[in-house]
Amino acid sequence: MSTSSASIIIHRPVEEIFSFISDYHNDWKWRSRRIDFQKLNDTDPAEFMVTQKYFPLLNHKIHSSYQLIDYSKNEHIISQIQVGKIQVIDKRQVRSLETHLTCFEYSLDIKLSGILKIFGQLLTHRLYYHLNQDLQWLKEMLEKLAIPYSQRELPDLRPTFTTESTRLLGLT
């Protein structure tokens, strides 16, 4: 099993981060079903098993399934995705470090079988790169959204002139 994981510290409360990754997790999932994490029963997450016979990216029928393995509000979401001979364990965990400081850890455990094992290390390396980029984007976005609109830094749209252009325009 290959593992790609990354973590980042975000200056927002743990509840906000968890709420965001719950919605993001739903978008990552199959179109056939969404999970309402606000009403989820912690005692029986297995009821959210979804199976479909069609995988759109490959444009032919492949057995695929999604199962929520473990869930704890404001702590973690762990799910398993099976697409043909590829199995992925998706783990998203949040920890509160201080009142408005959260550590978000994201890892993907990938189990490949057959000839796909050859591509395991390459896939893991590529995923690690993308995980880090995604987490950095998430941090920047959530921290910008936390700033009141009136205090957000807006880009300066005034034209900038070089010394040569100001001389040519007679502005010096």
- The per-residue pLDDT for range 21-30, each reduced to its tens digit, is 777 655 545 4
- Render the burial of 137-169: b for 16+ CB within 10 Å, e for the rest: ebbeebeeeeeeeeeeeeeeeeeeeeeeeeeee
Q: What is the pTM of this model?
A: 0.65
Residue 27: the pLDDT is 54
Q: What average pLDDT is seen over the chain?
A: 71
Which residues are CB-contacts of 66 (< 8 A; sequence separation ≥ 6)? 29, 30, 33, 48, 49, 50, 79, 80, 81, 82
Domains along the chain with CATH numbers: 2-152 (3.30.530.20)
Q: Decide if pLDDT at 144 tops 50.
A: yes
- The per-residue pLDDT for range 88-114, each reduced to its tens digit, is 888 889 988 877 888 888 888 888 877
